[in-house]
Amino acid sequence: MAVGDVEISTLVPQGEWTDDSLAVLVDGYRRKLSEMGALSDEIKAHVEHTSRGGVKIRVVWEKGDAAPRSAAPRSGGVDAQHGEESPAG
């Protein structure tokens, strides 16, 4: 990840996800980044299956060299499990 990129990530344990719920979760993270100002081609989703049957989900807004958008927060993030914004710093 580059400086300024935004990531929403979570680990979902075995037995707490299905293919359908996984797709809904990833789509929700994509939508959240879009609401923050990301363009669809700037959003990358990474899903990794763990050896214990869970999944690691990372959805990243790859800003690259793009100029900051006024709608995007400069720091902090979203706690994916609780949907709350974490403090900056």
Supply the pLDDT for residue 86: 45
Supply the pLDDT for residue 2: 76
Supply the pLDDT for residue 29: 97
Distances (CA, A) of 24 to 17, 55, 68, 69: 10, 14, 28, 27
Supply the pLDDT for residue 3: 78
Residue 7: partners with Cβ closer than 8 Å, 6 or more residues away: 1, 58, 59, 60, 61, 77
Q: How many CB atoms lie within 10 A of CB 10?
A: 14
With 0.95 as the threshold, say if the pTM is over it. Answer: no
Give the pLDDT of the chain (89 residues) as one tens digit per residue: 777 899 999 999 999 999 999 999 999 999 999 999 999 999 999 999 999 999 999 999 998 765 455 444 444 444 444 454 444 44
- The vertex-6 CA angle with 3 and 9, nearest 5°, equals 125
**Closest of 61, 35, 32 to residue 46, by C-alpha:** 61
Domain ranges in the chain are 6-66
Q: How many CB atoms lie within 10 A of CB 50?
A: 12
